[in-house]
Amino acid sequence: MSRRKPSQAGLLLWRTAVTPSVLLWMYVMNTFLNTAAAASLTLAITQCVILRYSNITCYWETSDHHLNASNYKLQINITNCDSKENFNVVGVCDTRGSNCAVQHINSELLCFRADVLADTHTGSIRSPPYFFIGLKSVKLPPPQIKHLKSSARCLHVVWGMKRFPKDVKNHIRLQVEFTTHDQTRSQTVRAYSNETLELCDLHPGSKYTVRLRAQDDRADAHWSSWTSIDTTTAEKAPSAAPRLWRHIQPAEEAGKRRLTLLWKPVSWPEVNGVVLSYSASCRSELDSSQWTCGALNASRSSCVLAVSTDPCHCNLTATNSAGTSPPAHLYIPAHTDAELPPPQSISVTPLDDTRLKVEWTAALNQSESGFVLQWSSVPGSGPASLHWEQMNKTARSFNLTGLLPEVPYNLSVVKLYGRRAGSAKSVIAFTREGAPSVGPKMTVLRTSSSVIILQWEPVPLEKLHGFIQNYTVLYSINGKSEKVCTRAEQISLTGLTAGTYNICVMAHTAVGGAAGPWHMVAVGLEDVQVIPILLCSLLLSFLILIIPLCLRVRIKQCLCPTVPDPSKSSLSVWSYTKPCQSWKKIPSTKTGPLPLPSQHKLTSTMSSIISIGQATSYQGYAEKDYDPIQVLSYHTVRHDDNEAETKTNGTATYLDPKPAPTQAFPKHLLNQSYTKPDQVLPAGFTEDLEPSSADLLFDSLFSCERNPVDLSGYIHVSQSYAPFATTVDAYRTAGLPEDTNITA
């Protein structure tokens, strides 16, 4: 049996007939579905609240949150509480929100019916009716705090309410909350307006937030809004001591230690107020020595003292406006005392980039009273960067927070034995490791024909950003590179060929590595030591420059000798007269002093000034040696009418020459003498310690024993001065031997 295919003309006729009917059917079904959907939308009132003496507010919601209602209309009616009929309109309000309020009547003893009508783009939707009883829907106004009085342990609150009706007086419940340091306590009491509420068992010196709200117990679903106020209880003296710790360092002064006392504030609630100051002091156990920091303000948390090396006790107290806390005690052992044992082990586990978990194991057979965990970044800046936390004896772990990644931290745990602390168990840890920021600095220790010995300094821990894993030595020559890995800080590269090598050292952590500076090192058969040759060259250059500089004066004297200027010589007049020959021998007599030659002859004899220098032998006139003579003291005696007058007494002889117009000798040559070897100064000789340079009279006596000699080439005598001699006794003149021949 075969089937015929419909012709194209028949198919087109069928489509033309069916299409309008199908479209009409689809339109009808769409309209029906939209109407059903609009009807199925749930719009319901959730609650209505009567605010006494104010209004009635109703709240509603819809199941379709995408419903675009253009307007809502709320209508509230008074109805019969039993039949819920006979509606009387209380009020109507329009809104675009989800609540609305109508004016309230002055009675909550009625029953009410409410509904809301929503206008949408598809039509209007009305909510089901909502029935409520006025007494069960009353919400009271917030209470008022009229007066608040506080003591150390209690608060006294006087409260009230505006327009408080008498019929509600016996139905008021009051809820009170007081919160301090995130701790909230609440209690609900029956109370009357203008009554005083007493809240006790509070913490002294603590700030509290007090909140009140009221409720009509017949409408237990509705509380009034909160009324809050802040207050502080009265202070008491701190009931606990601050937590005290120490950091000991050697002091610059001998026999002293630098002791840094560290403390933490008294914790709440034991602080009982606000701390105003701290007082810290230490006292020696062996003598009466005491060191104190005085009164420190509340912002301070440390104090530095220079204490002796003897054992001492340290105390710390905190003071507020009500009193002083009990003292915190800490024992500082002598520097020679044996340290108590540390914890048995310590381990650190990174939790994230900012947290570390520290765990430790206590030593066996030890009775500890607590533990102290210390930590600081590396490198630390002394006690100021030290953080610490004191824990009880049952603690075995602690989580550190607020740390930084790639920063090394020095962690240590100290065990407490009563007031005395043991030694610390330390470890270095990172929250997260990183790559080093710099590489090692390399030094070439020695080179030979085929060997290079290298050494490098370890990278500082704060620049390493992790734990060192290994080092890599990179070296290359003529485009060929090699590398050697090691964990040591020194290495020998052997089997090298002659040439110049580029060498550097890399430091590696678990995350990455960093290379240090490159160095060029020459290796050859001659084993040329570049550095020693360079040092020798610099030393030789230095010597060449410094030797002429040091000997510049002597070289100048050799090259340019000083030539004396005769015109400036003091030996301007020379006398060849032989003074000793001009004197006639005068026999000594016991009856009186020796007769003196005439002034004219003596003056002419001493016609030149003796040129005085150092005690040196001179070659005299007529090629004869003369001994230096004794230069005696001298005075200047002025002449009257240019005539020489001789004065004689029993002990001395004076010659009065003419006054000298100028000074005969430089000042630095006055009172100098030249003596004959083994010559003894006469006992009667006296020196004038401060001769006057204006009235200078030079007196010179010289010996002319046995054979008088010519001293004219040895003596230079000023013509302006005459000699003066003091006699030793009545028969001898000082400086002239008894057998001296004096020529008249």
- Give 90-121 pLDDT, tens digit per residue: 899 999 889 999 987 777 788 999 999 998 88
Local structure of 19: helix, strand or coil: helix
Considering only 242-251, 404-413, 702-711, which range has the smallest mean pLDDT? Answer: 702-711
Instruction: Convert the pLDDT of each residue in 272-304 to its tens digit.
Output: 999 999 999 999 999 889 999 988 999 999 999
Local structure of 338: helix, strand or coil: coil
**For residue 18, what is the enclosing H or E element?**
helix 8-40
Type of residue at 635: H
Residue 191 pLDDT level (bands cut at 50, 70, 90): confident
Multiple choice CATH, 243-332, 2.30.30.90, 1.10.3720.10, 2.60.40.10, 3.40.50.1370: 2.60.40.10
Residue 380 has pLDDT above 80, yes or no: no
**Phi, psi at 595, each rounded to 5°:** -70, 145
Considering only 319-328, 390-399, 415-424, which range has the smallest mean pLDDT? Answer: 415-424
Local structure of 410: helix, strand or coil: strand
Please give the CATH architecture assigned to the domain spanning 345-429: Sandwich (2.60)
Residue 141 has pLDDT above 50, yes or no: yes
Local structure of 603: helix, strand or coil: helix
The mean pLDDT of 486-495, rounded to a whole number, is 93
Q: Which position has the higher pLDDT, 275 or 577?
A: 275
Residue 5 has pLDDT above 60, yes or no: no
Q: What share of the chain is helix, strand, coil (3-state, %, to 5)?
A: 15, 40, 50
C-alpha to C-alpha distances, 219 to 56, 100, 131, 313, 462, nearest whole angstrom: 15, 21, 15, 67, 68
The mean pLDDT of 484-508, rounded to a whole number, is 93
Q: Which position has the higher pLDDT, 614 or 251?
A: 251
CA 508/CA 503 separation, integer angstroms: 17
**Phi, psi at 465, each rounded to 5°:** 60, 25
346 and 379 in contact (C-beta within 8 Å)? no
What's the pLDDT at 571?
Answer: 59
Instruction: Convert the pLDDT of each residue in 146-173 to its tens digit.
Output: 888 888 889 899 888 877 666 677 788 8
Q: Are strands 172-180 and 207-216 parallel, antiparallel or unpaired?
A: antiparallel
Half-sphere exposure of 673 (CA within 13 A, CB side): 21
Type of residue at 22: V
Q: Does domain 441-528 have CATH number 2.60.40.10?
A: yes
Type of residue at 258: R
Residue 727 pLDDT level (bands cut at 50, 70, 90): very low
What's the pLDDT at 453?
Answer: 94
The mean pLDDT of 375-390, rounded to a whole number, is 87
What's the pLDDT at 475?
Answer: 94
CA 661/CA 636 separation, integer angstroms: 11
CA 190/CA 66 separation, integer angstroms: 46
What's the pLDDT at 371?
Answer: 94
Fold of 40-137: Immunoglobulin-like (2.60.40)
Model pTM greater than 0.85? no
- Please calculate the CA angle 264-265-269 and round it to the nearest 5 degrees: 135
Q: What residues does each domain of the chain span? A: 40-137, 141-232, 243-332, 345-429, 441-528, 573-744
Q: What is the CATH number of domain 141-232?
A: 2.60.40.10
Considering only 67-76, 188-197, 492-501, 504-513, which range has the smallest mean pLDDT? Answer: 188-197
What's the farthest any 2 CA atoms get from each other in the chain? 207
- The yes-or-no answer to whether 40-137 and 345-429 have a common fold is yes
